[in-house]
Structure 1
Amino acid sequence: MTARLPWPLAYTVSGDDCSSPVPLGYTAPLTEAVRSLAELGYDGVEVQVREAGARDAEALARTVEAAGLKVLGVGTGPVGAQDRLTLTDPSPDVRRHALHRLLGAARLAGELGVPVTLGQSRGTFLPGLADMQRLWAGRAVAQLAAEASDRGSRLLLEPQSRANTSLWNTPGEALAVIHCLDAPAGLVLDTHHLDAEDVDVVRAVTDHAGSTGCLQLAAPSTRGPLSVGDPRLPALFTALHEGGFTGWLTLEHTQDGDSAKAAARSWTALDAAAALS
């Protein structure tokens, strides 16, 4: 972590199983990405996976740890983004396939001893199917949370904007689902998605820091790398401190054509802001 941040600092990377680099993560292959991020001072990575499972944990950990970093979380964005598999697809076969992939990610996370996150693979509503789709998603998320818990992991549910999913767009909506689960679960808060839903970012972190396992950061408006002098960062750090946040921070943003420069820029902005909080 930076000299002043008390929480582990991660960067989004693509697992080797992804069909292409995730657009909001480091664009290089995993081995190259972790080496560069370690040189910049990051503590770990949040690995986005597409079809990886428990069998892949040893190789993944070996690659990341060889650079001196840790896997801090397993993300599932490519399940929906790259293969269009969602928990609310009208096709039962697609829903089963989506859940199978997500359960595999939960088993991978369990082997690594880290949380698994769920975002856009929840899907979007179709006319006349919203009630049924909500039921399908709720049942699948309950199964996913139970599997994660049984494997020594924990599900983190990410409120995302309506541009990505019809389900659970605000922290309050996501927490309502979490409170109905029989397994422990928490939140991922993403500054971009909160902004897109007109949710005050600092207020959301203040209110939900204790329920949040990960805070994902990007520059406002552009969703690009962070900039030195971003006025929200010191306030966010204060909210995390006062709320008893015990998770990790992840940079999840566009790369502006050069991941090494983007990662360095965000790291510098966070270190400068930490000095002011």
Structure 2
Amino acid sequence: MKSCVTIALVPQIKTGPWIYWNDLEASITKAATLGFDAVELFTASADAINPDRLTRLLDQSGLSLAAVGTGAGKVIKGLTLTDPNPAIRAEAVAFITDMITFGARFGAPAIIGSMQGNVAPGIDRDQALRWLSDGLNTLGIQADAQGVKLIYEPLNRYETNLINDLGTGTSFINGLNTRHVVLLADLFHMNIEESSLPESIRLAGSAIGHVHFADSNRRPIGLGHIAMAEVATALKEIGYAGYVSAEAFPFPTPDQAAQQTIRSFNTYFR
């Protein structure tokens, strides 16, 4: 397993579960100094960062790009894959497709979390799930064509009324036409929704393609009450070999949060 830390680069967003903020170069330098393997980026759009500059910074630091988040599509533009308006759904697919292309240049998958949307009032749940399925099928094909996976994230009940747990998520992606969509196991969301984090991980198995490393209160691991040793054991048992990425609040400060994260990662995985 490889360590990863998040960097938020969306000027419109002032708070949220990302460790480093705003300064790409300084954040990458700090991450490398602490011994992280990679960074995960949350950007306003696919063209918000010059890819040549990012290549240079990653090459200089020895870090990889683990994944790119797409949530700005919803936060800034109001786009989701389950909007009742077909024009908005098409725009959401286009936005995510651009993010897939950006990430694929670095071998990094795109993450679909908040852009999945919700079952809107007056819309049949099965219809909303069909729209989500259609979007993921289209985007999974796009990702495969560019040599990466597409990551789908079950969110807790307070953030979506679509799919909230790994078991439902596994069944859902297994029903897609594409085989190139994997699940994101976010420990914060799982703490709310799963009866047993380790058992849910074991049951999902190879469907898990990315892990978000945050404690029960969404602070860095070790600052809440998740039984991380049991979670780490389960991840090792399923042979998970991907990134363990700190999507957590920068508590008490970004630097201290990063230090706490890498200490915890080294404790459980190295």
TM-score of the pair, normalised by structure 2: 0.89
SS at match of 1:268: helix
Query: Partners in 1 of 2:269 and 2:100 — Cα distance?
Result: 33
1:79 and 1:85 in contact (8 A); partners too: yes
Q: Does 1:153 align with 2:153?
A: no
Q: Does 1:118 align with 2:112?
A: yes
Q: Does 1:108 align with 2:102?
A: yes
2:210 and 2:242 in contact (8 A); partners too: yes
Residue identity (%) = 25
1:87 and 1:99 in contact (8 A); partners too: yes
Tell me how far 1:150 sits from its aligned partner.
0.7
Query: Partners in 1 of 2:247 and 2:30 — Cα distance?
Result: 16
Q: Does 1:260 align with 2:224?
A: no
Cα 1:39/1:140, change in 2 over 3 Å: same
Say which of 84, 90, 96 aligns to 1:96.
90
1:48 and 1:77 in contact (8 A); partners too: yes
More off after superposition, 249-258 vs 54-63: 54-63
Tell me how far 1:230 sits from its aligned partner.
6.2
Q: Does 1:210 align with 2:203?
A: no
1:88 and 1:95 in contact (8 A); partners too: yes
Q: Does 1:175 align with 2:154?
A: no
Tell me how far 1:229 sits from its aligned partner.
9.7
More off after superposition, 49-58 vs 187-196: 49-58
Query: Partners in 2 of 1:12 and 1:181 — Cα distance?
Result: 31
1:35 and 1:67 in contact (8 A); partners too: yes
Unaligned runs of 5+ in 2: none
Q: Does 1:195 align with 2:188?
A: no
TM-score of the pair, normalised by structure 1: 0.87
The one-letter code of the counterpart of 2:93 is L
SS at match of 2:262: helix
SS at match of 2:21: coil
Query: Partners in 2 of 1:53 and 1:185 — Cα distance?
Result: 24
Q: Does 1:270 align with 2:257?
A: no
Query: Partners in 2 of 1:233 and 1:14 — Cα distance?
Result: 25
Tell me how far 1:259 sits from its aligned partner.
0.5
Instruction: Find the counterpart in structure 2 of residue 30 from structure 1.
Output: 24
Query: Partners in 2 of 1:27 and 1:56 — Cα distance?
Result: 17
Cα 1:96/1:13, change in 2 over 3 Å: same
Cα 1:90/1:258, change in 2 over 3 Å: same
Say which of 26, 35, 40 aligns to 1:46.
40
Q: Does 1:129 align with 2:132?
A: no
The one-letter code of the counterpart of 1:258 is T
Instruction: Find the counterpart in structure 1 of residue 181 from structure 2.
Output: 185
- State how many pairs are aligned: 267
Superposed CA offset, 1:243-269 (max 9, x none): 111211001111125111111012112
1:225 and 1:265 in contact (8 A); partners too: yes
The one-letter code of the counterpart of 1:166 is N
Instruction: Find the counterpart in structure 1 of residue 68 from structure 2.
Output: 74
SS at match of 1:169: coil
Superposed CA offset, 1:107-136 (max 9, x none): 122221122221111111122213332222
SS at match of 1:128: coil
Query: Partners in 2 of 1:149 and 1:56 — Cα distance?
Result: 23
The one-letter code of the counterpart of 2:254 is S
1:228 and 1:273 in contact (8 A); partners too: no
Cα 1:214/1:8, change in 2 over 3 Å: same
